[in-house]
Structure 1
Amino acid sequence: MSKSGKSIVRRTGWPTSVSHPVVTPLQPSVVYSSPDPDTLDQQYEQKSGYTYAREGHPNAVVLAQKIDMLEGVEGGIITGSGMSAIGAVFLACLKAGDHVLGGNQLYGRSLRLMSQDLPKFGVETSFADPTDVSAMKAAVQPNTKMILVEVVSNPTIRVADMVGIAALAKEIGALLVVDNTFTTPRGYQPFEHGADIVVHSVTKLLAGHSDVTLGYAVAKDAELQTAIYDANASWGLTASPFDCWLAERGLHSFELRYDRAEENATKLATALKDLDGVKRVLHPSLPDHPDHNRVQQVLGNRPGNMLSFELTGGRETANAMTKAAPNIAFAPTLGDIGTTLSHPPSSSHRGLTTEGRAELGISEGFFRVSVGVEDIDLLIEEFSTAIKAATA
Structure 2
Amino acid sequence: MTDRRNDRPQTLVRRHPLREGVSRAVVTPIQPSVVYASPSIDMLHAQYEGRAQGYTYAREGHPNATLLAQKIDMLEGAEGGLITGSGMAAVTAAIMGILGAGDHIIGADQLYGRSLRLMHQDLARFGIATTVVDPTNPEALRAAIRPETKMILIEVVSNPTLRIADMEGILAVAKAAGVRVAVDNTFTTPMGYRPFDHGADIVIHSVTKLLAGHSDVTLGYVAARDPADAKKIYDFAVTTGMTPSPYDCWLAERGLYTFPLRFDRAEANAAKLADWLAEQPKVAQVLYPGRPDHPDHAQAQKLLGGRNGNMLSFRIDGDEEAANRMIMAMPEMAFAPTLGDVGTTVSHPPSSSHRGLTPAGRAALGITDGFFRVSVGIEDVELLVADFAAGLAAV
Letter in 2 for 1:365: G
1: distance between equivalents of 2:90 and 2:19? 36
Q: Is structure 2 residue 22 aligned with structure 1 residue 18?
A: yes
2: distance between equivalents of 1:13 and 1:159? 52
Q: Is structure 2 residue 284 aligned with structure 1 residue 279?
A: yes
Letter in 2 for 1:48: Q
Give the SS at the match of 2:102: coil
- 2:353 is aligned to 348
2: distance between equivalents of 1:310 and 1:11? 60
Matches within 5 A, 1:179-190: 179-190=184-195
- 1:162 is aligned to 167
Computed over aligned residues only, the root mean square deviation of the Cα atoms, in angstroms, reads 1.3
Q: Is the 8 A contact 1:278 1:312 kept in 2?
A: yes
Q: How far does residue 3 in structure 1 lie from its aligned partner after superposition?
A: 9.3
Give the SS at the match of 1:379: helix
Q: Percent of counterpart pairs with the same letter?
A: 62
Matches within 5 A, 1:6-45: 6-7=9-10, 8-45=12-49
Deviations 1:24-73 (A, max 9, x none): 00000000011121211111112620000000000000100000000011
Q: Is the 8 A contact 1:188 1:299 kept in 2?
A: yes
Match of 1:326 among 304, 323, 331: 331
1: distance between equivalents of 2:192 and 2:106? 24
Q: How far does residue 385 in structure 1 lie from its aligned partner after superposition?
A: 2.0
Matches within 5 A, 1:79-98: 79-98=84-103
- 2:223 is aligned to 218
Match of 2:150 among 145, 153, 165: 145
Q: How far does residue 9 in structure 1 lie from its aligned partner after superposition?
A: 2.2
Give the SS at the match of 1:249: helix
Q: How far does residue 114 in structure 1 lie from its aligned partner after superposition?
A: 1.1
Q: Is the 8 A contact 1:276 1:388 kept in 2?
A: no
Match of 1:56 among 52, 61, 71: 61
2: distance between equivalents of 1:4 and 1:264? 67
Q: Is the 8 A contact 2:87 2:221 kept in 1?
A: yes
Stretches of structure 1 that go unaligned for 5 or more consecutive residues are none
Q: Is the 8 A contact 2:290 2:301 kept in 1?
A: no
Matches within 5 A, 1:69-108: 69-108=74-113
1: distance between equivalents of 2:71 and 2:329? 40
Q: How far does residue 4 in structure 1 lie from its aligned partner after superposition?
A: 5.7
Runs of 4+ residues over 6 Å off in structure 1: none
1: distance between equivalents of 2:360 and 2:151? 27
Match of 1:338 among 340, 343, 358: 343
Match of 1:109 among 96, 107, 114: 114
Q: How far does residue 371 in structure 1 lie from its aligned partner after superposition?
A: 0.1
Q: Normalized against structure 1, the TM-score is what? A: 0.98
Letter in 2 for 1:356: G
2: distance between equivalents of 1:168 and 1:384? 45
Q: How far does residue 152 in structure 1 lie from its aligned partner after superposition?
A: 0.2
Q: How far does residue 169 in structure 1 lie from its aligned partner after superposition?
A: 0.7
Match of 1:314 among 312, 319, 323: 319
Q: Is the 8 A contact 1:278 1:309 kept in 2?
A: yes
